[in-house]
Chain A
Amino acid sequence: MTLVSFFKVAFTALARNRMRAFLTILGILIGVGAVIAMVAIGEGAKEKLQEQFTNMGTNILMVMPGTVTQNGIREYSSVTHFYPADMDAVKKDCPDVAYVSPNISSVQTVSAQNQNWTTQISGVNPDFFQIRNWGVVPGGRAITDSEDNSGALVCLLGQTVVTNLFGDANPVGQLVRIKHVPFRVIGVMLPKGDNAQGQDQDDAILVPYTTAMRRLNGTPYLRGMIASAASEEKIPNAETEITQILRQRHHISASWQQDDFMIRSLDEMIQAREQATSQQMLLLGIVAGISLLVGGIGIMNIMLVSVTERTREIGIRMAVGAMDRDILLQFLIEAMVLSLAGGILGILLGVMAGLIVSKVVHWNVIFPLWSIALSFVFSALIGIVFGFYPAHKASQLDPIEALRYQ
C-alpha cells in the first residue's frame, strides 16, 4: 500500500518540473531509441541476407583458382586454370557431390531486332539449373548435354535482358547476336531478383559453356566451378573429395604442397557474415552501454540537486516519523520513474525511427522482443543504480539540521 503511495509521491514530485525531468531523461531516451532502431535495422538486414543466400542455392561449394600467400592467407590467383575434364572428374569421382557446373563468363554487348544491351554472358551446363534452383519460364527449355558438347549457339535470357531487348514480346525462338554471332533463344529464366551483393541476377544470358569457351571467351579453360553437395551434412565430405581429385589432376602430390585452388562453401560465407554481425552487435551493445551510463550520470546529477533543494522537506518528513528507508525508497523510486520514462519513450522513438528507415531502404525491420525487454530492464536498473547514491545521501540527513536548512 505504501509503495503505491510512494510512486504517487514520485510522480507528483517529477510532474512539478516537467521540463527538467524531460531534459534529464533525454540521454537515456536517445540512447535507447538509437539502439532499438539499429537492432531492428540489423535484424532486418540479417533476414534479407538470409533470403538472398537461400536464393542463391543450397549446399553450394565454389571452387576458384587460388594460392596461399606468405602470411598464410588464401587469395584468388589468376594463374590456375580449370579444365572441363576437371569438372567431369569431380562429377564422376566425388560421391558426395550432386551437381557440378562450370564458372565462365564475360561481359558482352548483345543486340536483337534493333536494340542493344550490355550484360554478362555465363557459360553453363544442365547441372547449373539444379545447383542454382533456377527454372525456366514454361514455353522454353534449359540447355541440354548435347548442346553443351556441341557448342550449340543457343541461349537463355534473364528477365531484365528480355525487357530491354524485346519489351513485352516473347523472345523464345528469336535470334540475338552476341559478338556478331547469332544465338537462338530457347527459353527465358524465371525472375530471381538481386543477389547478396545487390546485383541484378536477372540481367544475364546463359549459353552452353563450350560455346562460351570457344566463341566468347576464347579460352580452353574455366575460371572455376560451382558444385552442390548431396546434402548439408555432406558439405565437408564433398569439400574433401573435390580437393583430393583436383590435387591429383593438378599434380600436387606432396602433402606439404599447397592447393592451387580454393573451395568456399556458401555456409562458410554465411558464417563469416554472422560473425561480422555479432561483432557489430557487440559494438552496438558497447555504444548502448555507454549512452546508458551517460544517461545514468545525468539522472544522478539531477537527483543530487533535487535532494539538496528538498533538504527541508526531507527534515519535515523525518520529523513526523519517516525512517531512513522511507526517504531512500522515495528518492530511489523517483530516479527509477525518470529512467523508465526515458526507456519507454526511447523504445517508442526507436520503433518510429526504425519504421521510417524501413520505408527508405525497402526492407523489413524486425523489432525483436529481446531488444525491447532488455531496454526496459536496463532503463529501470540504471535508475536504481544511479539513483542510489543521492537517495542514500538523502536518507542520511540529520532531521534537526535538515529543518534548519534555508
Chain B
Amino acid sequence: MSDHESLITQHIPRLRRYARALTGERSAADDLVQDTLERALSRFHLWRQGSDLRAWLFTIMHNIYVNQIRSRIRHPHEPLDESAAEEMRSREPDWGELRDLEEALARLPAEQRSVLLLVGLEQFTYDEAARVLDIPLGTVMSRLSRGRERLRVILSGDARTTTLKVVK
C-alpha cells in the first residue's frame, strides 16, 4: 500500500514529456504534471490494482488538461469540438514561416494534438489511446489522420492549403 508513490514515480518523466509537447511550455507542463500527481495520489484507491497505471495517469492528465482548456475558453459546458479547440489556441504564432515543430504542434486543435502525441510519442496503441481519451477507436483514427496531415501541411510551409485527402 505504501508503495504507490514509487509506482507513480516511475511514470513522472513520461508524463512530463507528454505535457511538454501538449502545452508547449515548461512551466505550464510541470503545473499539469503536478496537478496530475496530486489527483492521482488523492484518488489512488480508485485505481484498479493490476490495470495499466500508465494509462490511468494519462487519463487523469488528459481530463485535467481538457478542463483547463474549457475554463480558458469560458464555455464550460460546451463539448471540446474542433471549433472550440481552435478558439483556445492562445499561442497563435505570427503568420510567418512555421517550420518549427513546437509551433506547428501548437497550431493543431488540442484534440488532434493529444492523439498524435499519445500515439507518436508515448506509443500507446490506438485502443489504449481511445480508452485514455474516452473516445471511439474510429475517432482516434480520424483525429490522427487529420492531425498528421495538418502537421505535414504546416511544416511544409503551405499553411493556407488545408485540404485533406483521404484514401478510402
Bound pair: A and B? no
Which B residues form the contact surface with A (CB < 8 A)?
none
